[in-house]
Amino acid sequence: MEWETVIGLEVHAQLATKSKIFSGAATAYGAEPNTQACAIDLALPGVLPVLNREVVIMAVKFGLSVGAEVAERSVFARKNYFYPDLPKGYQISQFELPIVKGGSLDILLEDGSIKRVGITRAHLEEDAGKSLHEDFNGMTGLDFNRAGTPLLEIVSEPDLRSAKEAVSYLKTLHTLVRYLEICDGNMQEGSFRCDANVSVRPKGQAALGTRAEIKNVNSFRFVEKAIEYEVQRQIALIERGEKVKQETRLYDSDKNETRPMRSKEEANDYRYFPDPDLLPLCVTSEWVEKIRQTMPELPTQKRVRFEHQYELSAYDASLLAGHKALADYFEAVLKLTPAPAKLVVNWVMGDLAAALNKVNLDISKSPLSPEKMAGLLNRIHDNTLSGKLAKEVFEVLWEGNADTDTIIKERGLEQMTDSSEIEKIIQQIIDKNPTQLAEYQAGKDRLFAFFVGQVMKESRGKANPEQVNALLKEKLKGEMNV
Amino acid sequence: MSSISNETVEKIARLSALAIAPEELSMYATQLSNILTLVEQMNTLDTTGIEPMAHPQATNQRLRNDCVTEPDERKELQSLSAFTEAGLYLVNQVIE
């Protein structure tokens, strides 16, 4: 039987605010335990939550970016469960009336086509603290620094049909939230986490199969592997005549398998009800319009603009547009040089990206400014530097403070374009290698490369290779006729 | 009529990590039972067609600016806790 996979994703994006969603405690990552957990986060008696305005603005920005409806009125609810990392005994979340409803995200599939994935909703909620189960004399340690950190939970429709599509959706969403500057997207630090709802059904069947939820997978690669494993597990179960159980499963990346969470942890009746400590949140259409004015250009818009404005390939355009700082750098360089866009792309995504990668730096922290990069590209563009010499200059630029023109002057690196000078070298090489010349004349065409190599060597790489080719061909032909 | 037994009170107390003296058990059992009875009474009301109210006050949530206003008061706050270590609050082991 042919099976179809159905996947819906829930992403928790940690909103990049300075303070918590309901308190004025800091949200910085990596602080000493409990130094950023105030009386409100710890749920001391008598405290009241007050909503952070920035959190609302960020949720609205997300809603606008996916063409969703921003609810004029949304309500915070209490989701009740007992666990020591949740001091109040409930998590403040949104349930029946979320702030963002509907919308969609276009993702790029492997075959180059675009698929529209529906977004069900996005709602605001607070994160819980962290339990440390190392042994503290038989007790559990609790760090509440993360408690009350704002989260936007983004729920997709069950529109995804393979693990690869799920990863593409996640990457697109990851790029989007960083563009909007509402989430730093750091998956290792847990700023962008994903739960996957996975089910299978016979191809052509309309009704959905029973789904399992895979919790908290923290890298794109693991999402793909976890879903692939889960799909195979479910198909095998059904083909053996057994049933898929609706349950929550954890992915174990060491063993590459999913396994059920203990039933105690998932026996949930959350008893949602509106939080009496918080009034309904009102977002007027005037406010939404004001926020709309501050929206940056979005990745898809940028990709399309790059393809048209700079005549970049879809591949180059989507790579650049996928990383805002990279796209900004590219455009900054392009403004400063007459070099063609393709040359700029090649250097920015080639040598520069490789050099940055080596020292693990983001392009936004590049030691090589767009001005310096443009200076180098100017000299490649006007043929002062050959590709090979340009790489040499790049190394020097990367190491220090000098600019391209100074480096060229100090090292005498200008490309030799004076044809009489190149001809002189060619003549010397021909005179020095009578044996090779004779063999070449006897029909050993392969020796042409030998002559090119010798000329380039003699010029210390400064001769323009195209010019050397043309002049040498002519010269050797002349020698034949002598 | 719902009624909560002394055994249930003991169980809830244990789950909530509360110490309740044996002589107090009946008092709590009565009080908790009364709450359930009240809820049952309210449940007999016909609420068909009534829009749920999110809040008794007909006004909207006020917002605060995104500023860090809470200083680090770990020392004072942890003085309220029975067990702390390495800056962490300690509770009974929650995983088997």
Model confidence over A336-355: pLDDT tens digits?
A: 999 999 999 999 999 999 99
The residues, any chain, with a CB within 8 Å of residue A128's CB and separated by 6 or more, are A83, A85, A86, A91, A146, A147
What pLDDT score does A417 carry?
A: 72
| One-letter amino acid of A76 | F
Position A393 scores a pLDDT of 87
**CA distance to A40, A47, A81, B43, per residue, from A274 (Å):** 19, 17, 15, 18
Residue contact B55–A280, C-beta within 8 A: yes
Whole-number pLDDT of residue A218 = 85
Q: What is the mean pLDDT of residues B14-33?
A: 91
Rounded CA gap, A329 and A320, in Å? 10
- Tell which residue, A10, A215, A222, A29, has the closest CA to residue A125: A10
List the structure tokens of B87: 């800056």
| Residue B17 distance to chain A (closest CA, Å) | 11
pLDDT per residue over A119-141, tens digit each? 999 999 999 999 988 778 889 99
Helices (H), chain B: 6-15, 25-43, 74-78
User: Which residue type does A307 have?
Assistant: E
Specify the pLDDT at position A90: 96
A139 Cβ under 8 Å from any chain B Cβ: yes
Chain B residues with beta carbon closer than 8 angstroms to that of A50: 62-64
Q: Which of A53, A83, A132 sits opposite B66 (nearest CB)?
A: A53
Token duo for residue A366: 């590049």
Cβ-defined contact of A38 to B85 (cutoff 8 Å) = no
**Chain A stretch 69-98, residues whose beta carbon is closer than 8 A to a beta carbon of chain B:** 75-76, 82-84, 97
What is residue A41's three-state secondary structure? coil
CATH of domain B1-46: 1.10.20.60
Is A43's Cβ below 8 Å from some Cβ in B? no
pLDDT > 90: percent of chain B: 71
Phi, psi of A196 (to 5 degrees): -120, 130
Tell me how far apart the alpha carbons of residues A76 and A54 are, in angstroms, rounded to a whole number: 16
Strands (E), A15-70: 51-52, 69-70
Phi then psi for A260, rounded to 5 degrees?
A: -65, 145
CB A25 within 8 A of CB A40: yes
The helix, strand and coil proportions of chain A, stated in percent and rounded to the nearest 5, come to 40, 20, 35
pLDDT band at B77 (very low <50, low <70, confident <90, very high): very high
Domain with CATH 1.10.10.410 in chain A: 419-481
Residues of chain A with pLDDT under 50: 264
pLDDT at A187 (0 to 100): 92
* Residue B73 in contact with partner chain A when CB distance is under 8 A: yes
pLDDT at B23: 94
Helix (H) or strand (E) holding B92: strand B88-92
Residue with the bigger pLDDT between B53 and B69: it is: B69
Look at strands A273-274 and A76-80 and give their pairing. Answer: antiparallel
Chain B contact for A282 (CB, 8 A cutoff): yes
- The whole-angstrom separation of Cα A33 and Cα B87 is 5
Asked if residue A8 lies in contact with residue A116, where contact means CB atoms within 8 angstroms, the answer is no
**Closest of A177, A162, A127 to residue A9, by C-alpha:** A162
* 3-class secondary structure, A216: strand
Say if B58 is an interface residue toward chain A (CB within 8 Å). no
Buried b / exposed e across A317-327, counting CB within 10 Å, b at 16+? bbbbbbbbebb
- Residue A482 is predicted with a pLDDT of 53
A50, A262, A282 ranked by CB distance to B60: nearest? A282
Q: List the single best residue of B11, B39, B42, B63 to mutate versus A (max A Cβ within 10 A).
A: B63
Say if B39 is an interface residue toward chain A (CB within 8 Å).
Answer: no
Nearest to A142 among B63, B73, B89 (CB): B89
Angstroms from B22 CA to nearest CA on chain A: 25
- Architecture, CATH, for domain A419-481: Orthogonal Bundle (1.10)
Interatomic CA distance for residues A256 and A249, integer angstroms: 13
Rounded mean pLDDT, B63-82: 96
A182 reaches B (C-beta below 8 A): no
> Any chain B CB within 8 A of the CB of A281?
yes
> What pLDDT score does A468 carry?
84
Q: B91 and A139: CB-CB below 8 Å? A: yes
Is the CB of residue A235 less than 8 Å from the CB of residue A199?
Answer: no
Of A459, A476, A8, A454, the closest CA to residue A230 belongs to: A8
